[in-house]
Amino acid sequence: MSHIAIVLPVLNEEAQIVGCLRALQPLREQSCELIVADGGSRDRTLAWAEPLADRLVSGPRGRAAQMNAGARQAGGEILWFLHADSLPPPDAASLIRAALADPGQHWGRFDVRLSGRQPLLRVVETLMNRRSRLTGIATGDQGIFVRRALFEQIGGYPSIALMEDIALCRRLKPHGRPVCLRQRLQTSSRRWERDGISRTILLMWRLRLAYFLGADPARLARIYDR
């Protein structure tokens, strides 16, 4: 059975870290290692996380840097990158192992479901999943998983402030298209609901287009954070 290392980048997540890690505890009984990669939290994130994780890793702030730091400490043959506001299906570990049982498959992701109930969110998630299946580009919300050997071979996540998931996929695609699992990983829709669904769609399209046209990811990150 392939060992899976779950890498969870966090920053000031004390409000939800316990619920997130408790939901992942059954995976620890399925040969999954749970690594929390912190980017300098100033609240009680690490204190709450310590008894519920196999390893805590501290590194520079930024998801790319945090996930790379967590991957360096991982012991698994498969790396699985999850966000702290994501809830995978209960059989996620077996699904990942089955997806990579073929030696010709090297990486993949889940379909995503946004947690809110607004009908427009169903449209958003459907378009996200279809676009990903068409382009072979996954987002961090879809729970990207990859063979550790390939992740190390391509140099991991590029050290950029935003769009690190797209940049990683660009590095992975020359080695094969992703396995696109139709089972859904639920992720929080809090940002969509807080900032407005239509407004968030337009913002993300704008940022992605700017990135594809060569904009500096650091500048895009400042726009995103605002």
- What are the pLDDT digits (tens) for 75-97? 889 999 999 999 999 999 999 99
Residue 5 structure tokens? 């290392």
Residue 167 has pLDDT above 90, yes or no: yes
Nearest-CA neighbor of 87 among 213, 204, 183?
A: 183
Residue 120 has pLDDT above 90, yes or no: yes
Structure confidence at residue 212 as a pLDDT band (50, 70, 90): confident
Residue 54 has pLDDT above 90, yes or no: yes
Q: What percent of the chain has pLDDT over 90?
A: 81
- The CA distance from 213 to 195, in Å, is 25
Query: Which pLDDT value is given to residue 59?
Result: 83
Strands 78-81 and 145-147: antiparallel
What residue ranges define each of the domains in the chain, with the CATH number in brackets?
Answer: 4-190 (3.90.550.10)
17 within 8 A of 41, measured Cβ to Cβ: no
